[in-house]
Amino acid sequence: MLLLFVAPGAGVSAQRRRSTPATASATSAARAAAKAARAKAREDLAKATAEYKASLQKLLALREANVVKVSAQHDKLKELFTDGIISRREIENSDAALVEERAKVADVRRQMEAADMMLAESLVEDEVAPLPVFVPGAPTDHVRRTAYIRYNGFASWSLADAARIESMFVSKFGRRLPISAFGQTELHNRWGYDHRHAMDVGVHPDSREGQALIAYLQSAGIPFIAFRQAVPGSASGPHIHIGRPSHKVYR
């Protein structure tokens, strides 16, 4: 009688070898589906951004028209005040009204910039997200592209540390840090992006201010993405995103 000896686990190994192509195919299909979903999300975001900015552009035109109107009224009131026809309180109220209208214009422009910044950050999310944990001196410390520079950082960053950055900037340049988005904003909520632990600063990375800010962030090990120009597919201008990359929250 001939006995056939089968090594323990041989059947399992054979089964694994037989199932490998199917498993690889399923994994590949899952990755392709995820990639397609992300591409669709970016396409939808780009479209939503364009529509949102178009509505803001109309609002901006109205706000700017109001500034012109209130400014003309203010000039007339100044003449009346000079002639002693109206009181100081009236001219002060007019001053305040003009300041308020100009602030409304600036607010709309900030909203437009914030929309551009979020779009730019979403376009590089897939490229920067897989980077490994920071190792000082390793090639992955920095990722440099034509449009942006990404520094992986090593510090345990939180928005509570923003005061340190603000203090450095004020002491060096004598003005407030031009923050356009601090943590999660209504815009990020609206489009489902996680920006809870990041802030955006409206300075050009190659400017004196931008270079000083980047040098400080690197010395402190704080992660950032410095956008030097518009990212393809985005109208975003230069800015520095401080913190880990924002990402889409899929529901």
Q: Which pair of structure tokens corresponds to residue 97?
A: 């009204």
pLDDT score at 48 = 82
pLDDT score at 14 = 47
Global pTM exceeds 0.75? no
**Domain of residue 69, CATH code:** 1.10.287
Positive/negative CA dihedral, 228, 137, 124, 162: negative
Please state, rounded to an integer, the average pLDDT across all residues of the chain.
80
Residues 153 and 234 in one domain: yes
pLDDT score at 36 = 79
pLDDT score at 145 = 58
Per-residue confidence at 142, pLDDT binned at 50, 70, 90?
A: low
Residues 197-209: b if buried by 16+ CB within 10 A, e if exposed? ebbbbbbbbeeeb
The residue out of 70, 91, 123 marking a domain boundary is 123
pLDDT score at 4 = 41
The residue out of 100, 123, 146 marking a domain boundary is 123
Q: Residue 96: which domain range?
A: 38-123
Residue 129 has pLDDT above 50, yes or no: no
pLDDT tens-digit map of 171-182: 999 999 999 889
Vertex 136, ends 130 and 142: CA angle to 5°? 50
CA distances 245 to 24, 34, 110, 179, Å, are 30, 18, 20, 17
pLDDT tens-digit map of 143-164: 555 578 889 888 888 999 999 9
Residues 52 and 154 in one domain: no
Residue 12 located in a structural domain: no
Residues 129-145: b if buried by 16+ CB within 10 A, e if exposed? eeeeebeeeeeebebee
The count of structural domains within the chain is 2
Residues 139 and 119 in one domain: no
